[in-house]
Structure 1
Amino acid sequence: MAPMALALILGWWVVAASVAKKLPPPSLSLHPSQGVSLGGAVTLRCHLPQSAARVEFYKEESWGPVKQEDVDMAQDVAEFTLDGVKKEDAVKYCCQYRVSKPRGTSELSDPVELVLTDPNYPPPAISLSPKEPVETGANVTIQCCNGEYKGITFLHKDGLSAPLQHQKPDGGGTATFTLFEVTPADSGTYRCSYRIGGFYLLSSPLGENVTLEVTPLPGSQGDSGWPHGTLVAAVAGSCAAAFAFILVLVASFLLAARRRRIQSPGATPRSYEAVQFQVPPADSQALTYAELQTLTPSTPPPGSFTTPEPPTIYAEVGTGGPH
């Protein structure tokens, strides 16, 4: 009996362990994600990939649960708010969840850092080179100086939640960041901060800002991938070609129709009528009038293909002599 009970216990443990490994980990986020000052508030949100019964938040200092919360089965986010944050709260956090049927525990989420801004540290200075607008493809240098504190320096761009770059400053407390082959997308406002170091994640306030302006190259391509001038020329050329093609088609159609009428066996030759026109005098011996009379060709008998004689034109011209 004892061996059977032991086998059942071992089997249950193996099943529980396999279920726990199959549970996908949650993800953790901070709101706000940066700029939280000592004494402020921050909310930790644990995003659940599936239904859970309980969510636990862990703190790096002890890696023990700092908050346990029962959640509704339809809930996909669990929140934990820290009010009046202290220096000791500036550490890493993670979360995990538990399910009841079948029982299991997920893996821990990736840790997130709660960085607190400490106003006791002065903001760093910043400089931009070159200061004037630059063209696309140029290299730009941004220097941040934190003086004697010499903490890890971070480069920030307004509108982005995470720092762009970070590096350890030189012996004088200056960190040099280079933006290679900038584009108009690099235009914006930049600032610096530095972290003091040590176990707690404390940062200086953001320093003064510099503004980078990147101008596009002449004739640079737009969103469609075509240069503006090239696109206009291409459209104009296409329209002209289409118009000329239509004219050729119309002319060909009319010419073919004319030839069919001329070559038709049953067509009746056109009659010529008398034409009378008055010609204004050009000098003392000007024409008074001219009358052209033509003979209507006789209609050939059916089935005859005799070429009609050219019409005979009679002209009667009167001139006035000098008086």
Structure 2
Amino acid sequence: MAPMALTLILGWWLVAASRAEHLPRPSLSLHPSQGVSLVDNVTLRCHLPRPAARVMLYQDKCWRTEKEKEKGQTTVEFSFPNTKWTDLGVYQCQYRVLDPPGTSEQSDPVELLVTDHSYPPPGISLSPEEHVEMGTNVTIQCWNYGYQGTIFLHRDGHSAPVQCQDPDGVSTATFTLFGVTPADAGNYRCSYRPGGSYFQFSPLGDNVTLKVTPGPAHPGGTEQLHGNMLAAVAGGCAATLVFILILILFFLLSARRRRMWTDESHGAPRMPEAVQLQVPPSDSESLTYVELQAEPPSTRLPAPPASPQPSVIYAQVRTGGAR
């Protein structure tokens, strides 16, 4: 009995583990995503890809709290009123289903950091300034006035930093945007995390605005493009015509060769039709020349010679007396 129970338990565990591998992962977001200060209200939202029974929240890989999901709920919120130092850290969420039983993997981590206003905001510069032609490389420099640590580049509308650098002993970070497009336009700011302080950030600094304009049109570019299109179309038509002519010639040659092969396969050349020759009326059998050739000579008897006909002499007789 004991081995059977052990087998059932092991089977259930294997099914649960397999189910956990196939459950889609949840996602976790932080609101507000930046500029959080101590005593501010912070909300962590766990987004569920499928119905779940319970949702668990982890802080720095350790279980922090959990909630039961209500019917029809696709997002479960965990709120921290009056954020404290102990609330800072790295968070992940996870959910559990009952039918069939299984547990999903943990979400990607989200950092809950606070802004320490005792640090001055960083400086920022943009080169070239503001209006930049599309395809140009743009450089953004940020400096933190000697506080070391990591410098972050932020873009308005994005919750996470777009780039970061650890200057290693200097206070200035250089961020390069290669071949900018209109999608890179926007307001950029910087912040930094002072050396030795992991969950504290400086306030966001002033913003610089990047505006991307289309590059100058090349003279004659439209005409050249139109000419290239016409040349391409003409070349395509000519190639198609040549291809069609080659196909027609190929089929004609194939048909002629097929006709010659057919004539050769039927045998010897055709004989001319027999011509009937009429024999003189004296020949009573009235056979044609071909029939005479077809009849064996041994079976034919020579015809008797025709009896000679008497000669007829015509004379002119004149009557009457002499004049």
TM-score (norm 1): 0.62
Deviation at 1:228, TM superposition (A): 12
The 3 A distance-change label for structure 1 pair 110 and 184 is: closer
- CA distance in structure 2 between the aligned counterparts of 1:50 and 1:4, rounded to whole angstroms: 34
**Could you tell me which amino acid in structure 1 is paired with residue 181 of structure 2?**
T
Shift of 1:229: 8.9
SS in 2 for 1:213: strand
Letter matched to residue 99 of structure 1: V
2:117 corresponding residue in structure 1: 119
> Is residue 164 of structure 2 the alignment partner of residue 166 of structure 1?
yes
Q: 1:39 to 1:171 in 2, by over 3 A?
A: same
The amino acid across from 2:160 in the alignment is A
Preserved contact between residue 149 and residue 196 of structure 2 (Cα < 8 Å): no
Q: Deviations over 1:84-107 (max 9, x none)?
A: 112332211011111223332222
Aligned residue-pair number: 226
Tell me the equivalent position of 2:48.
48
**In 1, Cα distance between equivalents of 2:36 and 2:220:** 46
Aligned to 1:177: 175
- For 2:153, the equivalent position in structure 1 comes to 155
Identity %: 63
Deviation at 1:195, TM superposition (A): 1.4
Residue aligned with 1:36, SS: coil
Match of 2:214 in 1: 216
Q: Quick one: structure 1 residues 156 and 17, their matched pair in 2 at CA, closer, same or farther if it must change by over 3 Å?
A: closer
- 1:15 and 1:172 map into 2 onto residues whose CA distance is 54
Report the alpha carbon displacement of residue 16 of structure 1 after superposing the two structures with TM: 2.9
Q: Please say if residues 88 and 200 of structure 1, whose CA atoms lie closer than 8 Å, have aligned partners that are also in contact.
A: no
Contact 1:90/1:202 (<8 A) preserved:
no
Moved more, 174-183 or 202-211: 174-183
Q: Distance in 2 between matches of 1:207 and 1:55?
A: 37
2:108 aligned partner, one-letter code: D
**Cα offset, 1:15, TM superposition:** 2.6
Q: List gaps (5 residues or longer) in structure 1.
A: 221-226, 235-323
Between Structure 1 and Structure 2, the one with more strand by share is 1
* Distance (Å, rounded) in 2 between the aligned partners of 1:171 and 1:197: 10
Q: Distance in 1 between matches of 2:6 and 2:123?
A: 68
Residue 146 of structure 1, CA deviation: 0.4
After TM superposition, the structure 1 = structure 2 runs for residues 188-227 of structure 1, keeping only pairs within 5 Å, are 188-198=186-196, 200-219=198-217
2:29 maps to which residue? 29
**What 5-or-longer segments of structure 2 have no aligned partner?**
227-323
Query: 1:53 Cα deviation (Å)?
Result: 1.2
2:135 pairs, out of 120, 137, 140, with 137
AA of the residue aligned to 1:56: M
Residue 197 to residue 99, structure 1, CA distance change in 2 (3 Å): farther
Tell me the CA shift for residue 230 of structure 1: 4.0
Alignment of 1:230-269 (within 5 A): 230=222
CA contact (8 A) 1:147 1:172 kept: no
User: Which amino acid in structure 1 is aligned with residue 200 of structure 2?
Assistant: L
Distance in 2 separating the partners of 1:138 and 1:49: 41
Between the aligned partners of 1:170 and 1:200, the Cα distance in structure 2 is 16
Change in CA separation of 1:138 and 1:99 when aligned onto 2, cut-off 3 Å: closer
Q: 1:44 Cα shift?
A: 0.9
Partner Cα separation in structure 2 for residue 158 and residue 76 of structure 1: 27
Structure with more helix by fraction: 2
